[in-house]
Structure 1
């Protein structure tokens, strides 16, 4: 799996915690992540505070592992983060 993501069992899921410099950056990420969710039709559990976001992608229904659609979503989030780093530099 992609760097930064943790794969867990019972129940099967992918998790990642993201840290940001300030609320504005956190909010920008959340807005862009919402666009990815709408485009892919995947809506992970997300919790956030002023400078962090926790993302959990659960396996579909009774699946015993996280499927490719969720893994694809995780890769898309990684691309967002890389784009953000590029914009900051």
Structure 2
């Protein structure tokens, strides 16, 4: 898993904060993340401002660890970042 993701317990989840250089980059990332969510039918909690996005991927309610589907989604988010200009990389 990319070092940018933090795995948390209670509740089980993955979290990541992304910083972008400008609003246009943030908006482009959000649009592409929405397409990824629709394609994989995984809908993370996302909050954002002009130049940042916070992403939280929650495991199933009774899960004791983050499953492979969420880890794959996180990897695909990371792949989206390779074509974006972020400040955290």
- Gap runs ≥5 in structure 2: none
1:70 and 2:70 are equivalent in the alignment:
yes
Q: How far is 1:60 from its partner?
A: 1.3
In structure 1, the partner of 2:36 is 36
Q: How far is 1:30 from its partner?
A: 0.1
1:16 and 2:12 are equivalent in the alignment:
no
Stretches of 4+ aligned residues off by more than 6 angstroms: none
Number of aligned residues: 85
Q: Normalization by structure 2: what TM-score?
A: 0.91
**Aligned counterparts of 2:84 and 2:21: Cα–Cα separation in 1:** 12
**Aligned counterparts of 2:12 and 2:2: Cα–Cα separation in 1:** 16
* Other structure's SS at 2:2 match: coil
**Aligned counterparts of 1:84 and 1:20: Cα–Cα separation in 2:** 8
**Aligned counterparts of 1:78 and 1:65: Cα–Cα separation in 2:** 20
- Which of 1 and 2 has higher RCO (CA within 8 Å, sep 6+)? 2
